[in-house]
A and B are shown apart, each in its own frame.
Chain A
Amino acid sequence: MKFQPNKNGYYGQFGGAFIPELLYPNVKELEDNYLTILESVAFQTEYKDLLQHYVGRPSPLYLAKRLSEKYGATIYLKREDLNHTGAHKVNNTIGQILVAKHLGKTKIIAETGAGQHGVATATVCALMNLECTVFMGEVDIKRQAPNVARMKMLGAKVVAATSGSKTLKDATNEAIRYWIQNPETYYLIGSVVGPHPYPDMVARLQAVISKEMKAQLKMQTGNENPDTIIACVGGGSNAAGAFYHYLENENVELIAVEAAGLGVHSGESAATSQLGEVGVIHGSKTILMQDEYGQIVEPYSISAGLDYPGVGPLHAFLHETKRAKFMNATDKEALKAAYELTKIEGIIPALESAHALAVLPKIKFKKDQVVVVNLSGRGDKDLETYINHLEK
């Protein structure tokens, strides 16, 4: 099991829990309990029930015929966009809210970039009648306004992060600072980032994506293994979920797509694997965009969910071992891909997911190559960006 973390939460040299002593009791409590909870019958029963009847799982695996024709491959879309709340994020929040309840927590905090994780957290808090505070960068509050409104309607308090680049990194900083000062709260992290055990716990909760994929591919093609899986990577949770049950099967090609912003080397990019070096961010040793003195560099992407200067430690390890191939897409390429999917398949993707679609023209496919693109979310939240772009 090469791609499972060791007992200290390390994937190779990446991972660990680099947290101030103030957070030690919280993280330790979670570390000591998460596996027992996740594997308990009570948890599994409730988790599966909610995923089926509340989220609407299994999400369809859709053979995109016209997209397939265009790129000369057999392309399936894993439709995480059809989940309740509109993205894969809810798989994780349903799971973690049950973990929080098992631990007896009543106050929940979360960070959010695109607002999808914030909405998914506010949703499960409403469902479970728990108090919810979401930290969101000031820049993201502006560019993802519909999600801010949804969070508020769901009863969450949205706190603006005004430090640094005022995006996901800074929202995470503020959430951690709040957590230090309010240790009775449960921090519901939205991606496979943060101190151990979060990356492993979130990956396990998102693993439902590849679990379903296996069964659906078996049904639809007779073979549970695709040739290639493509997913976008911000922190890396939808990719971790889409890759999870295929990690040890090296015949399945894994492609992780990062946001190149205005171009990988433009100085306005979030392509961490290309620009980053080993470092510590948000409690985890990973690859990280930083200057020569270890100051974290402010990333840029049109997509709030990919606008992050690190990646989860699992992805750092997949990159280092070359188990996954890391590609990237610029703002422009993502926008183009979003329009294309909308026009030929009638699906408006999230800007994040559009980055995964945007590498299709860059790959030479074999004729019968079976490709699954993880369509991590829907584009409702990005309409304003899409419309602005359309007018130009």
Chain B
Amino acid sequence: MKSLKNIFQEKENLLSIFFTAGYPNLNDTTTIISELANNNVDFIEVGLPYSDPLADGPTIQDSSQVALQNGMNLDIVFEQLKAIKETNSKPLVLMGYLNQLLKYGEDKFCQACLESGIETLILPDLPMVEYENHYQQLFKKYGLTNVFLITPHTSEERIRKIDALTEAFIYVVASASITGAKGDISNSQITYFERIKTMNLKSDLIIGFGISNNETFKTACQFANGAIIGSAFIKELSKNGVSEIDNFIQSIR
């Protein structure tokens, strides 16, 4: 498996896809990952379904609920990912909520990530101050990197601080919003993307939240190393299951 670092060095216009593990069916995880890999998705975000996903809109909430009803849990996700560790060629990023890591056991969780081929975490409710006080050390011990989010309301000073702490990439949240496809990208969003771009940060940038189709993906790529599609992909899965993943990805690129 290539590391995220390599991917960012080698390519531009990176496409990342988010999906909820256990949706639409419990055992779709590995099929979805291999389909995405075969269709040249550059890296893959595996979402851990959570009962109370505060930063997520209805689409991802619903998929989480279904996944949990399907019986998905952390042990099963890690087992599924371990089984494809040797064959999977694309970097995996795990997205979940802090309470899942806390309850599973911080060390046990990190160890399981390592064994499952996960190198990067996105925990939207892990704030920077807690990261600096504790989690930075913990993640380092296991060679894991953490992704911070920035938003249209994040101050320049704070973005600089996040840039300094970043080892993976910065997740540029496209608007003041929870997850969910929105259609077009507005002029004020463009102004915000330009502002971030001209800050000349050392970190790589990925834009996400509301990226849903070829047009929004292309626009996002003008200002960042690539973009993440989540809810729009979940909607595709809910319509066609795993059978039309290739068509969906081709429609984006």
Hey, which bits of chain A sit against chain B, CB under 8 A?
8, 16-22, 24-25, 163-164, 169, 173, 176-177, 180-183, 277-283, 288, 290, 292-296
* B102 contacts A278, C-beta separation under 8 Å: yes
**Cβ of A213 to closest chain B Cβ, rounded Å:** 36
From 171 to 227 in chain B, residues with beta carbon under 8 angstroms from any chain A beta carbon are 173, 176-178
Residues of A within 8 A of B124 (CB): 20-21
The reply to whether the CB of B70 lies closer than 8 angstroms to some CB of chain A is no
A16 to B68, CA, bound (A): 28
**Cβ of B50 to closest chain A Cβ, rounded Å:** 7
Residues of A within 8 A of B153 (CB): 22, 24-25, 183
Residues of B within 8 A of A292 (CB): 103
* B54 contacts A177, C-beta separation under 8 Å: yes
* B54 contacts A294, C-beta separation under 8 Å: no
Interface residue total, chain B, C-beta cutoff 8 A:
38
Count how many pairs of residues, one from A and one from B, have CB atoms less than 8 Å apart in the complex: 100
Q: A20-B149, A181-B178, A283-B125 are in contact. List 13 more A-B contacts (CB 8 A).
A: A20-B54, A20-B55, A20-B124, A21-B151, A21-B173, A25-B153, A173-B52, A173-B54, A177-B178, A279-B102, A280-B97, A280-B125, A293-B104
* A18 contacts B173, C-beta separation under 8 Å: no
Given A180-B55, A292-B103 in contact, is the A280-B127 Cβ separation under 8 Å?
A: no
Interface flags, B61-86, vs A, CB<8A=1, else 0: 10001001000011100000000000
Residues of A within 8 A of B127 (CB): 17-19, 21, 24
The reply to whether the CB of B242 lies closer than 8 angstroms to some CB of chain A is no
* A294 contacts B103, C-beta separation under 8 Å: yes
The residue on A at minimum CB distance from B102 is A279
The residue on A at minimum CB distance from B50 is A295
The reply to whether the CB of B7 lies closer than 8 angstroms to some CB of chain A is no
A183 to B176, CA, bound (A): 8
The reply to whether the CB of B110 lies closer than 8 angstroms to some CB of chain A is no
A277 to B97, CA, bound (A): 16
* A21 contacts B149, C-beta separation under 8 Å: yes
The reply to whether the CB of B155 lies closer than 8 angstroms to some CB of chain A is yes
Highest count of chain A CB atoms <10 Å: which of B99, B126, B176, B178: B99
* B55 contacts A280, C-beta separation under 8 Å: no
Supply 15 A–B pairs (Cβ within 8 Å), ascending by A.
Answer: A17-B129, A20-B54, A21-B149, A164-B52, A173-B54, A177-B57, A181-B176, A277-B103, A279-B102, A279-B103, A282-B54, A290-B103, A293-B75, A294-B50, A295-B68
A295 to B127, CA, bound (A): 20
From 86 to 117 in chain B, residues with beta carbon under 8 angstroms from any chain A beta carbon are 97-104
Residues of A within 8 A of B74 (CB): 293
* A180 contacts B176, C-beta separation under 8 Å: yes
A163 to B52, CA, bound (A): 9
The residue on A at minimum CB distance from B101 is A294
* B99 contacts A24, C-beta separation under 8 Å: no
Residues of A within 8 A of B129 (CB): 8, 17
* A169 contacts B176, C-beta separation under 8 Å: no
A277 to B150, CA, bound (A): 31
The residue on A at minimum CB distance from B77 is A293
The residue on B at minimum CB distance from A278 is B102
Interchain CB contact (< 8 A) of B173 among A8, A22, A25, A169:
A22
